[in-house]
Amino acid sequence: MNKGILKFTLLSACLDRIKLFYIVLLGFVVPIGMKVVTYMHGAEESQTFEMLTGKVGVAFILTGLCLGLAGGGSGSQTGKGGEYLPLILTRPVTRAQYIFTKWSTFTLVGGVLAAVQNLILALIGVAFGEVLSPYVVAGQMLERFLDAGIIAAALTLALVANHWLFQVCAITAFYVWMMAQTMPPVSVAGPSSAGVDAVALEGTHLMLTLSRLIGDLILPTISVYDATNAPHFPLLAVVSYVSTIVVYLVAAIAVINKREFFYGTSG
């Protein structure tokens, strides 16, 4: 890990006013507002709330931040935040160090913000009589760090792999996954339909199934609550999670090692 890259990536996250505003709004104001309103009216928490306080919320935070924190944007020599890679990479820093430090920083920033958000929401719940044990709250906060770790790894790879085909696949997979997060996994009731209704139902079913497959493949999750309360240790979830992160990091290092960073190249 390189301390310089860590320090100045963190500073970049803190000192950009537009990004801070985005994070405060989407990461804190909206979910906290939703929680308060839900409790005041005795309503059930919406799917949107579940999204913003879970993995999707972490993804929103990190995609907003990463656009300014990373180096080597797609098709460009510069990072989207102005980090000039041809200059950075002429310093005595290995590219693997650069990737690893960036991933760690994204994980730290995304994890801390989302964990703090979850903590605030848990405290608000206490004020309204919902008592969750500290154990459960700590588990949720840990989960946000785990979510940040895998989303950060995926984003790091996406930011350095600028081949158009990869970018198309990555963006498509991400949006398929995101779209289906807007609804809980359900099967629509009713008899077998025909015509347009059948196509619509099958389309929804396909999207949900595809989303689940893509999610399990590219963004596997570890539920800390399930891991600590299930009859068996969720080995598949843990192995999937760790293996995916490692594969993303290896791929990101391989890609950045291969890329040529100089004006006049397409790298």
Partner 1 sequence: MARAADTSTTYMPRFLVAAAIVLLVARAVVWFNTMHDGKQQISSVRWTPVEEFKRSASLANGKLVLYKFCANWSDPCQRLESEVFINHKVSDLANADFLTVCVADRVREDGTNTPQIAELQKRYHVFAFPTLVIADANGDSKGVLVGCSSSLATYRFLARASQTESYVSAHK
Partner 2 sequence: MQTDIQQLGDVVAPMEERTKCIIVQDLVKTYKGGRVKALQGLTLDIYEGEIFGLIGPNGAGKSTLMGCLLGLLSPDSGGISIMGMPPGVLSTRRLTGYAPERPDFEGWMSARQFLEYHHMLAGREPCTREAEIDSLLTRVALPANVWHRRISTYSRGMLQRLNIAQMLLGEPRLLLLDEPTLGLDPVGVVQVRKVLMGLRETGVTAIVNSHQLDEVERLCDRVAFIRDGKICSVQHLNENREEEYTLKVRWNKNCANANIGTAVDEAARAAGVVLKELTNASASFLVANDRASCLLRELIVNGIDVEEAVPERTRLEQLFEMGAQNE
What the block records as the tokens of 76 is 């460009």
Options 8, 22, 28, 145; binder of partner 2; rule CB under 8 A: 8
Options 36, 89, 208, 214; binder of partner 2; rule CB under 8 A: 89
Options 17, 194, 235, 264; binder of partner 1; rule CB under 8 A: 235
Options 30, 93, 138, 142; binder of partner 1; rule CB under 8 A: 93
Site for partner 1, residues 108 to 147, rule: CB under 8 A: 129-132, 136, 140
- For residue 199, the partner it binds in partner 1, partner 2, none, with Cβ less than 5 to 8 A by kind, is none
Q: Look at residues 14, 17, 181 and name the one whose alpha carbon lies nearest to residue 113.
A: 14
Q: Could you identify the residue written with the tokens 């180096």?
A: 71
What the block records as the tokens of 62 is 């990190």
Contact 90, 59 (CB under 8 A): no
Indicate whether 216 belongs to the interface with partner 2 (CB under 8 A).
no
Indicate whether 22 belongs to the interface with partner 2 (CB under 8 A).
no
Indicate whether 214 belongs to the interface with partner 1 (CB under 8 A).
no
- For residue 96, the partner it binds in partner 2, partner 1, none, with Cβ less than 5 to 8 A by kind, is partner 1
Q: Look at residues 215, 218, 146, 221 and name the one whose alpha carbon lies nearest to residue 177.
A: 215
Options 46, 47, 94, 172; binder of partner 2; rule CB under 8 A: 94
Amino acid at 227: A
Collect all residues with Cβ–Cβ distance below 8 Å to 26 and sequence separation of at least 6. Answer: 52, 57, 60, 61, 64
Site for partner 1, residues 164 to 183, rule: CB under 8 A: 183
Options 3, 40, 127, 187; binder of partner 1; rule CB under 8 A: 187
Helix/strand/coil for 260: coil
Compute φ and ψ for 71, nearest 5 degrees.
-115, 160
Distance of CA 230 to the CA centre of its chain: 25
Residues of the shown chain interacting with partner 2 in the complex, contacts defined by CB under 8 A:
2-5, 7-8, 11-12, 15-16, 77-78, 81-84, 86-94, 260-265
